[in-house]
Amino acid sequence: MPELLDLHGRTNKAIRAALDAALQRHGLRLGQDHLLAALWERDGRTPGEVAAVARVSTPAVTKLAARMADAGLLTRRRDDRDNRLVRLWLTDAGRALRGPVEAERRRIEERITADLTPAEREILLTALAKVHRSAADLPGGDPIGEPS
């Protein structure tokens, strides 16, 4: 069992679980913070735009947005000028989550890198960037990025 593959997978699983638990304390689930982040950056984006910046498929955004609209975090409204577009607008509740959620993410980032020396932290980031590039270049490595 290849080392990096296994270690990286287990690490990601632990991170995801911890992050999910943290988000859940604010009534959110795992991918929803990325969707919100896209709207915090610019409100009124379309599902397609959100999907692009969140690096997720458009159907994923559709479903997320539906659940989050039910939860009262955002509203969906058709664009007046182009009627096939849908625009996602934050509610006050959705806007109010920005501070707490960003703090939560920072907190986890800190805890996770707490035991690393400055040198380790730096090399970890550069090495991970290389690995990411290599993986994305593999066949099927970036389905949404470059499918053709």
Partner DNA sequence: GACTGATCGTTAACCGGTTAACGTTCGGCG
Partner DNA sequence: CGCCGAACGTTAACCGGTTAACGATCAGTC
Structure tokens at 108: 């986890």
Q: Cα(55)–Cα(35) distance, rounded to whole angstroms?
A: 10
- Residues paired with 89 in a beta bridge: 75
Answer with the entry of DNA, a second copy, none that 64 interacts with (C-beta below 5 to 8 A by kind).
Answer: DNA
Instruction: Could you list the beta-strand ranges (E) of 63-121.
Output: 74-78, 86-90
Kind plus residue range of the DSSP H or E element containing 66: helix 58-70
Using rule CB under 7 A, residue 75 touches DNA: no
Answer with the entry of a second copy, DNA, none that 108 interacts with (C-beta below 5 to 8 A by kind).
Answer: a second copy
* Residue in 44, 48, 72, 141 binding DNA, rule: CB under 7 A: 48
> Min. distance of Cβ 83 from DNA in angstroms?
3
* Residue in 83, 117, 126, 148 binding DNA, rule: CB under 7 A: 83
